[in-house]
Structure 1
Amino acid sequence: MVGGWINALLNLLGLGGGGSAPGTPGTPGGAFRRALPTWDRSFERALATWGRTWRYPMGLATEGVAVVAAEGDDRDYAFDLSKCPEIRAGATITGGAIVGGSGLTIGAVSVLAADFDEIPAGQGLTVRISGGTGGTTYKLACRATLSNGRKVTVPGRLVKVRDYDS
């Protein structure tokens, strides 16, 4: 038992083997991986596999889930409404708007015409976002209008990290 706590402490300090398999002493649930800072204390460029979707219901009800992007990224992002009770009951999305994000270049919001990041077609909104300053967190809110006249808001945060081009 003491060995498990020591292993967990070493893993927390970054001196261990990066975790352990589930069910063995060490970090519960297995290996813990995170983005590491570079030698100059900045973060490496956001990988193409990093998330770009905010989902309903939100992990943090007041501010939404954070999505990370490099300041030079020009990408499509999605707001997932597939778990919204009104959508599950048969309502459709008729439109939407993005509120917030001062300092970002935000394109036109459109209803998903095809599946996108595991969101079924017609059950989410997509928008192209670019610009921003590294080290800044932008608060966004996607306000979707549904066919039954109701409006649903999905909050989100976009965290911009410095480009790492050198």
Structure 2
Amino acid sequence: MTEPITNLADAVAALGALPMSTGQERLSSAERESILSMIGDAKPARSSLLLSFGKSVHDRAQHEHPKWEDLYCMNLSSYMGERIAPVLRRLVDGEAENARLRARVAELEAARKADHETWQHDLATARAEREAWAAGKDQPAPMITASAGACDGCGMAPERWCPGCAKCACVTEHDKGCMRVGA
């Protein structure tokens, strides 16, 4: 088993680069603002630039690293460093969009939970009323509420009323049918 490298000079000699921190932590809004203030008015990178960066990273890792000054790697690093502002802009924009979407998902989940709790409460109330009525307790039978503008006598909605006289079928003239045109 090999011993871990503890000396920075040995690490650079053995690995060919300085160790980098990696991770999945999210940028805070303050960190995003800080990066944006540093990169100025850079526009987000196009996909072709990201592909070029990927190729440069691959080429740096795959080529033979000399023991002396590695001009090839320094050239690729310089190329990427000069073009990093649009990449950072794309990263910051993506992080901001992710934060916006996470907030929207949390909002929708909270609304769904509230709707579900209301529905559960209404369902439990309806069940309790039905069970009380079925058990013959002194509760009135559950009533179906009429829609707005419905007939006072039977609760029929206006769109089902007689087209000739615009009255509900339960009105006495309709016992034998309405004689008006369109009825």
Shared fold by TM > 0.5? no
Larger Cα-atom Rg: 2
If each structure's strand is expressed as a fraction of its own residues, which one has the higher value? 1
Higher RCO (C-alpha 8 Å, min separation 6): 1
